[in-house]
Structure 1
């Protein structure tokens, strides 16, 4: 079973959808900022949160809740705008502006910040989508094919070669 967090009107077919909006196609209505969600530990094989993480009040607690809900070895899929895309700032409901390294605190090596959370995820895939011009010129391929180039892009180029959307796939470690 897959949990579709913040499913809205485009709930993943066959999944269990949760949302706070009564006009959504959610199976369960709940406030995504109120923990715990109404499910037992390790209830799901996977979880997706498409354009949700930038709206929550606390990214760390939300990721910890995702970790609690998904079984060991299960997958968590997130999509969110890159902070250099205009959509990151033009939506007044966005509380967070993230980059492709924002979730490193939950990794195996936790980037030296393991004291923020004990929840651990193994990064399986990160995909950065760039604005069309840069995609056509091959920058998107470079950013996604070479992790060192992605770091270089984030540090030095992202305000010129702007990002659009990021997709993350994580494996839950318990």
Structure 2
């Protein structure tokens, strides 16, 4: 089974398209904040969440429950593609239903390997993977530039290093972040 969670109007062929709102006409109506999810453990060979995770779990314990369900239903080694608005983007700020920023660094906290390393180094990072018994490995992170910065990059006005420096301190450099994870089981 391949899951497109929170599909909205973005249905994918070959996926079970799941959404909370029946008006989107998903294959299956599921409120992703109602736990547990109605999927078998280790049943999803692939999971896609496009502009969904930033809407879920307004309280930390709810969010971590959702993360635990995501891990539970993912098959060992299953790729999980999460696309979210960049937290320094108006796209993130303008939507009142966004309850939390999602960053690539979040998933480092959900990696047992990274947790063990930061503990050994005496760092203060929260070892959430160890606390909640979940384990995700980040395979890839892609950033989608805003139109303005994309044009400047294409014209050669800025290079990769300038983009990296700008995205750490300026707003509306990056519109979206796509994070590809693997469920480590």
TM-score, normalised to structure 1's length? 0.84
Bigger Rg, which one: 2
- Which residue number in structure 1 is paired with residue 78 of structure 2? 74
- Which residue number in structure 2 is paired with residue 129 of structure 1? 144
Higher helix share: 2
- Which residue number in structure 1 is paired with residue 8 of structure 2? 8
Q: 1:41 to 1:140 in 2, by over 3 A?
A: farther
- Which residue number in structure 1 is paired with residue 121 of structure 2? none
Coordinate RMSD, CA, aligned: 2.3
TM-score, normalised to structure 2's length? 0.80
> What's the CA shift for 1:79?
0.3
Higher strand share: 1
Kindly indicate whether the alpha-carbon contact (under 8 Å) linking 2:90 and 2:172 is maintained by their aligned counterparts in 1.
Answer: no
- Which residue number in structure 2 is paired with residue 86 of structure 1? 90
| Unpaired segments ≥5 residues, structure 2 | 119-124
Kindly indicate whether the alpha-carbon contact (under 8 Å) linking 2:143 and 2:176 is maintained by their aligned counterparts in 1.
Answer: yes
- Which residue number in structure 2 is paired with residue 25 of structure 1? 25
Kindly indicate whether the alpha-carbon contact (under 8 Å) linking 1:7 and 1:25 is maintained by their aligned counterparts in 2.
Answer: no
Question: Superposed, which structure 2 residues align to 1:85-164 within 5 Å?
Answer: 85-107=89-111, 108-110=113-115, 112-115=125-128, 116-138=131-153, 142=160, 150=164, 156-157=168-169, 159-160=170-171, 162-164=173-175
> What's the CA shift for 1:140?
9.1
